[in-house]
């Protein structure tokens, strides 16, 4: 088992952890850990000696996903004063089961997609799919706007894993673009949530439609 495979397994576990935890604080921590691990991928993916590009990219991703996002999320969490996701649409037990089904689906999918030989790890596509599904699932099943933002971040992580696993070196430029987008999204969401909670006393997105 090489280092790439173990990274993949770690990512998988963080995803399951996200599905299972109700504490927003713990969720933010898990997302931070996932961001750190994802940040390591460019280093692992580079064959041969480390280039300055991959090093810089790793540094950037670790900074943004491992430090800036968690900080922003924590800051928002404090300002809106919520602790836990109390009534999700789908309970935590059910979430785990759905997660496992999604995992099976992801492996099934990745077996059926023809990949180029030069692939980071055999499990990478499956984990990428799983991360994407988890991100989307968080967006769909959770009520708090904060969790949804985390869903978007996880979703983006999945796309990035996919990209770095398949197109080992060329994906960097694309990734830079995506990370910028997500950064803006998180930033705006942070501000929005602050205002939503000020205006409505809560950040439950399902209640925003009510008049």
| Chain positions contacting another protein, by CB under 8 A | 89, 109, 112-113, 133, 136, 139-141, 148, 205-206, 209
**What angle, 0 to 180 degrees and rounded to 10, lies between the N-to-C axes of helices 24-45 and 3-20?**
160
CB of 164: closest distance to another protein in angstroms? 21
Question: Which CB sits closer to another protein, 181 or 206?
Answer: 206
Q: Tell me the closest approach of the beta carbon of residue 59 to another protein, in angstroms.
A: 32
Residue 98 beta carbon to another protein: minimum distance, rounded to whole angstroms: 12
Closer residue to another protein in complex, CB, 201/206: 206
Q: Provide the CA 46 distance to its chain's centre, in angstroms.
A: 22
Q: Are 15 and 134 in contact (CB under 8 A)?
A: yes
In the complex with another protein, the residue whose CB is nearer, 10 or 136, is 136
Calpha distance 116→87 (Å, rounded) = 43
What number of residues does the chain have?
A: 211
The kind and range of the H/E element at 52 are: helix 52-61
- Give the list of residues 6+ apart from residue 59 with CB closer than 8 angstroms, or none: 39
Q: How far is the CB of 136 from another protein (least distance, A)?
A: 5
Instruction: Choose between 22 and 205: whose C-beta lies nearer to another protein.
Output: 205
Per-residue CA distances from 132 to 84, 92, 158 (Å): 23, 18, 5
Q: For residues 39 and 151, which CB has a smaller minimum distance to another protein in the complex?
A: 151
Q: Please, what is the minimum distance in Å from the beta carbon of residue 141 to another protein? A: 7
User: Phi-psi bin for 38: left (phi > 0), alpha (psi -120 to 50), beta?
Assistant: alpha
């Amino acid at each position: 088992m090489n280092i790439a495979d173990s990274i993949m397994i770690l990512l998988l576990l963080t995803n399951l952890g996200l599905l299972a935890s109700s504490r927003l604080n713990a969720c933010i921590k898990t997302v931070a850990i996932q961001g750190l691990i994802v940040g390591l991928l460019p280093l692992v993916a580079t064959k041969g000696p480390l280039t300055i590009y991959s090093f810089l990219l790793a540094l950037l991703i670790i900074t943004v996903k491992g430090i800036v996002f968690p900080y922003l999320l924590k800051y928002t969490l404090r300002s809106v004063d919520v602790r836990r996701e109390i009534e999700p649409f789908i309970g935590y037990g059910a979430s785990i089961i759905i997660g496992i089904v999604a995992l099976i689906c992801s492996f099934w999918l990745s077996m059926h997609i023809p990949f180029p030989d030069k692939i980071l790890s055999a499990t990478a596509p499956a984990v990428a799919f799983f991360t994407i599904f988890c991100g989307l699932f968080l967006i769909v099943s959770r009520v708090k706007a904060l969790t949804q933002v985390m869903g978007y971040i996880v979703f983006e992580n999945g796309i990035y894993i996919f990209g770095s696993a398949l197109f080992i070196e060329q994906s960097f430029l694309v990734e830079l673009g995506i990370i910028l987008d997500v950064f803006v999204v998180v930033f705006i969401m942070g501000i929005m949530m602050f205002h939503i909670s000020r205006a409505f006393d809560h950040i439950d997105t399902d209640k925003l439609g009510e008049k």
